[in-house]
């Protein structure tokens, strides 16, 4: 298997169009791909298309079967990962009419590129980090305390809101800083907010334990996030579904454990802490190792990894919840990372520019 050891591949327009075609088709010959491109008004001779397909196979984006005139191509996992997808258009399709995958992709994390972000994305992330580190050098302990409180309030509010919690930002602030429970909210909503604070406090104080993901720190973090919410601790022993998605996560505890182990291994092999945090964020959401609280755990785990490496934690304050859910759904069903990668980069830069948390 070819591994991308330096940088994420940047695909040209024709390569992206070809990948999009294969998302909807199982196997195609070069002449069939040429016909599909012609329908899309993409110019190019059959010889040019054959050359493009051969190159994409060499890059591990496509798989070849047969030989000579009988050669057919199909999409490989790396091709799925790098496919550009219009999330709005895809998610507007009724779930049962979508062309995504229903089952867990066992090759997904083993086939991930070693470096996830492009040179430009990495430069932007590093530039934001440099400014962030310069700024936090100068803050007093009083400001540091206030900044930490602000981040925890805004993270707890937005992460909970993504899960359907109806606490407002002001309600969340009163609960966490003044211990005032909102009168018109459920006990579970209140507990969810409190658990977020407890989880962030835990990773902030024990950052060294989160240099990378492992099953122990994952389960510890999850237990804090679902405390008193009627959710079992540890890996789930029963199936779960994803609302509005055709994707069906694994339902066998042994396969779930194996998937978590595979994700941990991939994260350990990645080059930068940005890669590690991003993979934890999407990987735990995809595997759904717990009966509930998976996305909350993924968000706090990503922050734990960022903190462990001296980077800015994410608050998600400016994220559009629908955009977040749609990007995740595209990853679940297609395994394409571009929509969620865009969110991660934007949210990291936002947090690095707006918070001063040591």
For the stretch 274-295, pLDDT in tens is 999 999 999 999 999 999 999 9
Question: 179: left (phi > 0), else alpha (psi -120 to 50), else beta?
Answer: left
Q: Which residue has the higher pLDDT, 208 or 1?
A: 208
User: Cβ neighbours of residue 130 under 8 Å, at least 6 residues apart?
Assistant: none
Task: Report domain extents, the chain.
Answer: 13-84, 119-354
| Separation in Å, CA 203 to CA 66, 125, 200, 225 | 52, 22, 5, 12
Question: What's the angle, vertex CA 310, arms to CA 216 and CA 139, rounded to 5?
Answer: 130
Kindly state the helix (H) or strand (E) to which residue 62 belongs, with its residue range. strand 62-65
User: How many Å separate Cα 191 from the centre of its chain?
Assistant: 25
Q: How many CB atoms lie within 10 A of CB 102?
A: 12
Task: Quote the pLDDT of residue 8.
Answer: 63
User: Cβ neighbours of residue 255 under 8 Å, at least 6 residues apart?
Assistant: 104
* pLDDT one-digit tens code per residue, 152-189: 999 999 999 999 999 999 999 999 999 999 999 999 99
Q: What is the DSSP letter of 65?
A: E
Which candidate, 297, 339, 118, places its Cα nearest to that of 195? 297
Task: Quote the pLDDT of residue 6.
Answer: 38
User: To the nearest whole percent, how much of the chain has pLDDT over 70?
Assistant: 98
Question: In angstroms, rounded to a whole number, what is the distance separating the alpha carbons of residues 56 and 64?
Answer: 10
> What pTM does this model have?
0.93
| Separation in Å, CA 31 to CA 38, 47, 154 | 10, 9, 54
Question: In angstroms, rounded to a whole number, what is the distance separating the alpha carbons of residues 208 and 210?
Answer: 5
User: Cβ neighbours of residue 138 under 8 Å, at least 6 residues apart?
Assistant: none
Task: Quote the pLDDT of residue 11.
Answer: 87
Task: Quote the pLDDT of residue 70.
Answer: 86
Joined together, the tokens standing for residue 5 give: 């050891």
* pLDDT one-digit tens code per residue, 52-92: 999 999 999 999 998 888 899 999 999 999 999 999 999 99
Q: What is the DSSP letter of 314?
A: P
Whether 7 shows a pLDDT value over 60: the answer reads no
Average pLDDT over every residue of 253-279: 96
User: To the nearest whole percent, how much of the chain has pLDDT over 90?
Assistant: 89
Distance between the two ends of the chain, CA-based, in angstroms? 41
Same fold, 13-84 and 119-354: no
User: Cβ neighbours of residue 64 under 8 Å, at least 6 residues apart?
Assistant: 57, 71, 72, 73
Confirm or reject CATH 1.10.540.10 for domain 119-354, answering yes or no. Answer: no
Question: In angstroms, rounded to a whole number, what is the distance separating the alpha carbons of residues 63 and 289?
Answer: 30
Average pLDDT over every residue of 34-54: 91
Topology, domain 13-84: Arc Repressor Mutant, subunit A (1.10.10)
């Amino acid at each position: 298997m070819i591994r991308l050891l330096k940088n994420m591949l940047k695909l040209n327009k024709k390569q992206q169009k070809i990948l999009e075609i294969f998302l909807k088709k199982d196997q195609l010959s070069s002449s069939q791909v040429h016909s599909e491109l012609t329908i899309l008004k993409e110019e190019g001779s059959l010889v040019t298309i054959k050359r493009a397909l051969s190159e994409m196979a060499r890059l591990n984006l496509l798989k070849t079967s047969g030989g000579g005139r009988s050669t057919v191509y199909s999409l490989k996992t790396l091709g799925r990962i790098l496919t550009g997808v219009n999330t709005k258009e895809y998610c507007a399709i009724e779930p049962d009419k979508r062309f995504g995958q229903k089952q867990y992709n066992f090759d997904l994390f083993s086939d991930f590129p070693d470096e996830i972000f492009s040179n430009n994305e990495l430069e932007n992330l590093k530039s934001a980090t440099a400014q962030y580190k310069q700024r936090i050098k100068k803050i007093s302990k009083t400001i540091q305390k206030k900044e930490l409180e602000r981040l925890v309030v805004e993270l707890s509010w937005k992460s909970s809101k993504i899960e359907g919690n109806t606490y407002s930002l002001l309600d969340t602030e009163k609960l966490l800083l003044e211990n005032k429970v909102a009168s018109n909210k459920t006990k579970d909503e209140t507990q969810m907010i409190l658990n977020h604070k407890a989880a962030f406090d835990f990773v902030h104080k024990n950052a060294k334990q989160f240099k990378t993901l492992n099953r122990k720190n994952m389960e510890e973090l999850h237990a804090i996030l679902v405390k008193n919410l009627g959710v079992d601790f540890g890996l789930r022993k029963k199936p779960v579904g994803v609302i509005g998605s055709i994707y069906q996560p694994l339902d066998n505890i042994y396969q779930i454990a194996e998937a978590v182990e595979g994700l941990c291994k991939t994260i350990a092999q990645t080059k930068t802490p940005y890669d590690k945090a991003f993979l934890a964020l999407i990987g735990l959401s995809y595997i759904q190792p717990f009966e509930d609280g998976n996305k909350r755990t993924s968000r706090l785990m990503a922050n734990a990894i960022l903190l462990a490496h001296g980077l800015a934690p994410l608050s998600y304050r400016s994220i559009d919840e629908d955009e977040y859910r749609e990007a995740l759904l595209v990853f679940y069903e297609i395994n394409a990372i571009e929509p969620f990668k865009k969110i991660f980069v934007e949210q990291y830069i936002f947090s690095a520019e707006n918070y001063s948390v040591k």
